[in-house]
Structure 1
Amino acid sequence: MSRRRALAACAALCLSASSAYGCSGDADLAPLEDAAAADDGATPNPSNTADANADADADASASADANANADANANADASADAGPLDPTYVHYDINHVLSTGQSNCVANKGDNAQIVLSTAQPYDNVMFDVGVMTAAQCNGDGCRQYQTPATFSPLVEGDKFFAYGVETMSSGLANLVAMQSRDVYLAGRPAGTNSHDVLVSLHGRSGNVYRCLRKGGCPEWWPVAQFNYIWPFDEAMRQVADAMALAAASGKSYVVRAATTIHGESNHYYKEGNVYTYDFPLRGTDGTPNKIASYRDALLEWQADLDAGVKAITGQAIDVPLFYSQISGWNDRAYSRIPQDQLQAHVDAPGKAVLVGPAYMIPFAADCLHFTWEGQRRLGEYFAKAYARVVLAGKAWEPLRPREISLAGNVVTVTYHVPSPPLVLDTARVTDPGHHGFELVDDSGATPAITSVALAGPDAVAITLSAAPAPGAAKRLRYAMRQVTGTCPGPTQGARGNLRDSDDTPSRHGYDLHNWGVQFDLPIP
């Protein structure tokens, strides 16, 4: 079947906000189940996939929940200052960031009122002379041309993946990294080594699910002989080879520092006929049948393939972590399992899969699908904070996430990794969706109501219930996971919560850059 038909739900959403609102009246809060039968790369068959309404509380991510006591995966105190430069840091003249994802990666206007913001380069960050995007002749599915760059140019926005110039998060990321490197990490170093100049290049595709963005692409959907699309992963490797050659020709040292992705909505929306399928399991890119059982597995495979592909070209020893944000932008159903998968990947692969944070505090455009361009630039600065801590400070990045969940009588306590204590319940920047975004679900048939949510110190939240949960009931705590169908995502209507830290990192544009609580769906012991 065609890619466009396979993603009928997402395509319909892209037409108008009103069509997005009418996609589903499903209010079932149970997570989506993994596909019930094997999919070794062929297009899923609706007869062997689970309906979106199926109960999957025993989801695959439960094997390593983020609330494990002591959390052995957190290899650095998230509350520590960013601190000085990593003593093992090695200077390179050009530090490449490979960006991928779907329409919120390549940017989408969302409404006609927006104008490109970043039209001048304040530092020495660069892009290819063909723009931040090397692909051309693109439609809603893929791109048929790779534009070979001839040189580097100052990084600015306005590239035309679509028929109009866009503002991606590239400048927000690179310019805040440059500011922090000069003002904090590299201040006082000799000339020529006192800046961290970033090259950003994009290889995303609007509307693509993971299987099409990963190594090997999705020829089962788009046969090369018929469509002649350039696979996004192949494009990324060409970008690396071209950047390395251009750097060498200009006498500059070069390294790939990181990859980023803004992605997940298409895997949430993936639809076969009238059934939401989740598009997993998939054959691994190494050929192992059913290796990729969830979006969590997809993120780990994505990072591993990007890392290996880069090293095969550059010969570098430096690892290439994958930085990503959670999706907070679905509006057809009340629940999505993608945000929990994104959290689980971070917990399971520390330093490789790096969750920057949620996106519900970022404003959405009038189409209720895409970030505003102010939102793009602000999200880029969130990526910059995480990048600077990992690449410049040499420390682990921890978003504001649970490290332990406990139950005593009728009180659930969540203890958090807090990048910058203390915690704050903020209803000014993000409106209260009810109980500050927390929700208890169980299978007792008489789930106790939440009566209060309060801070319990600089790193904990206490959630008081109307009664103790029934003995033996399977209990789960959710945060920022309930979407009211037919409303816009974002800080006033979407799946959201009010918990943030007190991070006062300066923004280049006056944005507040507090770290907001990640979305989660975790069992209560």
Structure 2
Amino acid sequence: MHRIVIFIVILVLLPTFGFTEEKEKRSEDQSAFKQDIVGLWLMGQSLCEGAESLPIVTSSDSGWGNYQFKRGVRTWLHGNHANQPEDRPEEQFTFVPLTAATYGGLGETIANGLADHLKARLNGTDQSKENAENGAPHFLTTYAGQGGRLIDELSSVDQSNDSRTPANRQHGGHYYQTSLDDARRARAQADSMGKSFSIAALVWMQGEANGGPTGGINPSRWGQELKRPLGQEWYRDRLIHFRKEWSQDLQAITGQTGDIPMFTYQTLGPAGDAQLMAADTDPNITMVGPHYSIPSGVNSRYAGRYGDPIHMSADGERWYGEQVAKVVHRVIQEGEKWQPLRPRKASIAPDRKSVLVDFSVPRPPLVLDELFLPREQYPLGDGFHSLYGFQIRDADKAVIPISSITVESSTVLRIELIAALEKEASFTLSYGLPYAGQIGNITSIRKGPIIADQPTTELLVEGKLDEHMKPLLDEGAFIITNMLGPDSFARVPVRHVNEEEGTTVLRYVDRERRNNLDFAVGQTITTQRPFTYGNLRDSDPEKSIYQFADPEYGTRAGQPYPLWNWCVLFNRFPISE
């Protein structure tokens, strides 16, 4: 019997633009890691603040000797000197051991995964954390943003205090100013201890809030949406400007001479590709990669409810922190010219019955993984509408059925097609869909038990769950839908699965039905993951220092976080002849 929690994030993908692997040499200052206290300055919205990442999994001193302010990792607090950061009490800025903390609906952040993994890497794999605890550097992690914020609400523009911003979205602003004041407080505290201080890296986790309703970018809460590609170009330029200004202002405080590099995740929505564009343009911005492989916040529990699917679980936050740390170390300490796993070229094979896709692969060989994540697939005739996350369309956006996908070489995939592609036609490749496969037809529907005063329903589906569904259950969250038109479209989170005499039983809470629409006997059930995803990853051997810790969902508690690099999400990548 499995307890499962679910929802889905629908992701609007935009074009992935070309890139140059040989980026201009960045001006990183490797001496930043040689200071006594080294800052890791975070900025972003809900995923960066640990929204609904509860219950926390790093509740006590981890023993790696890293710091936070006594005020906490989250230094901007609504109603607590939000618009006057310089007036925050001095005693709140002493250094204390880095841990996660619960603050209302906020929980675990990436801080411990990020700082502790970096400390472990700098001390060498043969060093225990007991030996590292008292040794420099001590990483100080701080975050001064807020969930739901636009890029120019977080920047020095401070749109939150613009009179055109709705009053219920103002909250005092001054996020950028708070981040700078944090640096002043850190330097003053380090000076009082007779310790040196610098900031090694900026971490960016924002972008969803700028997504427009038609797939473009909203620069503000009152202006017009910028259609693509203009919207993406605008966000690219704003992110580059933010990085430069933030670095310069922090350098003026710390006395550093070199640019402070920024590391960004790939956000959901139209800003995700703009972040890639920024990383391709600014040698001091690095794209770490997507986060779709981690467990969603639908697995979180607090205040008698579950988290939103767009957020991360507590394990997800700490896991992604380790992923960021891995890339920060490779770029700053080892000088690697990092590129995430992403396509370089897609071309039609001579027989026109397949497409070859060449990738930039951080740590070859490529792997089509269907053991850790369920195989992404949706049927279309004798083939697939999408497979392993990949989909091909023609110029009229008609889907080209896929028959299979195989790893051709350490950096190349071959996508086999049901029929040969027409000549004198254009085609594009996309990656990232939510479908985890169909599991059968509903044979009967019955009332389930009352749970926490809530009525439930049980769907009986013919046959046992296919073995390829095991990773979905291991992860701990999935959704079911009947994939019908809007008037009959049923979708609901499933929180309990078991088998009865060869039949699969799916139980859901009635109040969670989308638009209160019911399923019906005879309908086919399609499963989905909370995040849009694909199955392509590399073979990165780096080991995590943490393991899955929350045993209340899935089956992975006690297993180490895998630090593979998963392919970035992309759309409309051109396929050449």
TM-score class normalised by the smaller sequence: 0.7 to 0.9
Report the equivalent of 2:282. Answer: 349
SS in 2 for 1:339: helix
User: Residue 296 of structure 2 aligns to which amino acid in structure 1?
Assistant: F
Give the TM-score normalised by the residue count of structure 1: 0.73
Which of residues 319, 335, 338 is equivalent to 1:397?
A: 338
Query: Is 1:299–1:345's contact at 8 Å kept on the other side of the alignment?
Result: yes
User: Residue 529 of structure 2 aligns to which amino acid in structure 1?
Assistant: T
Report the equivalent of 1:210. Answer: 151
Question: Deviation at 1:453?
Answer: 1.1
Pairwise mapping of residues 177-188 of structure 1 onto structure 2 (< 5 A)? Answer: 177-184=118-125
Query: Is 1:110–1:370's contact at 8 Å kept on the other side of the alignment?
Result: yes
Q: Distance in 1 between matches of 2:240 and 2:120?
A: 30
Question: Deviation at 1:159?
Answer: 5.2
Q: Distance in 1 between matches of 2:50 and 2:33?
A: 32
Aligned identity (percent) is 28
Question: Deviation at 1:185?
Answer: 10
Deviations 1:370-415 (A, max 9, x none): 1100111101100110111122212222222223333333332222
Larger Rg: 2
Structure with more of its chain in strand, by fraction:
2
User: Residue 511 of structure 1 aligns to which amino acid in structure 2?
Assistant: Y
Query: Is 2:6–2:530's contact at 8 Å kept on the other side of the alignment?
Result: no
Which of residues 532, 540, 554 is equivalent to 1:503?
A: 540
Q: Distance in 2 between matches of 1:306 and 1:30?
A: 28
Pairwise mapping of residues 168-207 of structure 1 onto structure 2 (< 5 A)? Answer: 168-184=109-125, 195-207=136-148
Report the equivalent of 1:523. Answer: 574
CA distance 1:186–1:308, shift in 2 (3 Å): farther
Report the equivalent of 2:23. Answer: 73
Deviations 1:54-90 (A, max 9, x none): xxxxx6x64xx14x6xx443879xxxxxxxxx98776
Q: Distance in 1 between matches of 2:388 and 2:171?
A: 49
Query: Is 1:91–1:193's contact at 8 Å kept on the other side of the alignment?
Result: no
Q: Distance in 2 between matches of 1:404 and 1:193?
A: 48
Query: Is 2:217–2:231's contact at 8 Å kept on the other side of the alignment?
Result: no
CA distance 1:89–1:305, shift in 2 (3 Å): closer
Pairwise mapping of residues 135-150 of structure 1 onto structure 2 (< 5 A)? Answer: 135-138=76-79, 143-144=82-83, 146=85, 147-148=88-89, 149-150=92-93
**RMSD across aligned positions (CA):** 3.7
Which of residues 293, 303, 316 is equivalent to 1:361?
A: 293
The gaps in structure 2 that reach 5 residues or longer are 224-229, 299-307, 378-386, 436-480, 484-490, 494-526, 547-559
Which of residues 497, 512, 516 is equivalent to 2:562?
A: 512
The gaps in structure 1 that reach 5 residues or longer are 1-15, 32-58, 77-85, 284-289, 329-335
Which of residues 177, 180, 185 is equivalent to 1:234?
A: 177
Query: Is 1:173–1:383's contact at 8 Å kept on the other side of the alignment?
Result: yes
Question: Deviation at 1:205?
Answer: 0.6
Q: Distance in 2 between matches of 1:117 and 1:192?
A: 16
User: Residue 311 of structure 1 aligns to which amino acid in structure 2?
Assistant: Q
Pairwise mapping of residues 46-445 of structure 1 onto structure 2 (< 5 A)? Answer: 62=17, 65-66=18-19, 71-73=21-23, 91-109=34-52, 114-138=55-79, 143-144=82-83, 146=85, 147-148=88-89, 149-158=92-101, 160=103, 163=104, 166-184=107-125, 195-218=136-159, 219-220=161-162, 221-222=164-165, 229-268=172-211, 270=212, 278-280=217-219, 293-328=233-268, 336-350=269-283, 352-366=284-298, 367-408=308-349, 409-434=352-377, 435-444=387-396
Query: Is 1:327–1:339's contact at 8 Å kept on the other side of the alignment?
Result: yes
Query: Is 1:280–1:293's contact at 8 Å kept on the other side of the alignment?
Result: no
Query: Is 1:402–1:417's contact at 8 Å kept on the other side of the alignment?
Result: yes
Aligned residue pairs: how many?
A: 435
Q: Distance in 1 between matches of 2:277 and 2:126?
A: 30
SS in 2 for 1:477: strand
Query: Is 1:450–1:465's contact at 8 Å kept on the other side of the alignment?
Result: yes
Q: Does 1:476 align with 2:428?
A: yes
CA distance 1:345–1:115, shift in 2 (3 Å): same
CA distance 1:448–1:369, shift in 2 (3 Å): closer
Give the TM-score normalised by the residue count of structure 2: 0.67
Question: Deviation at 1:468?
Answer: 4.4
Q: Distance in 2 between matches of 1:73 and 1:475?
A: 29
Deviations 1:1-56 (A, max 9, x none): xxxxxxxxxxxxxxx998x88xx9xx9x784xxxxxxxxxxxxxxxxxxxxxxxxx
Question: Deviation at 1:191?
Answer: 10
Q: Distance in 2 between matches of 1:171 and 1:481?
A: 31
Query: Is 1:281–1:291's contact at 8 Å kept on the other side of the alignment?
Result: no
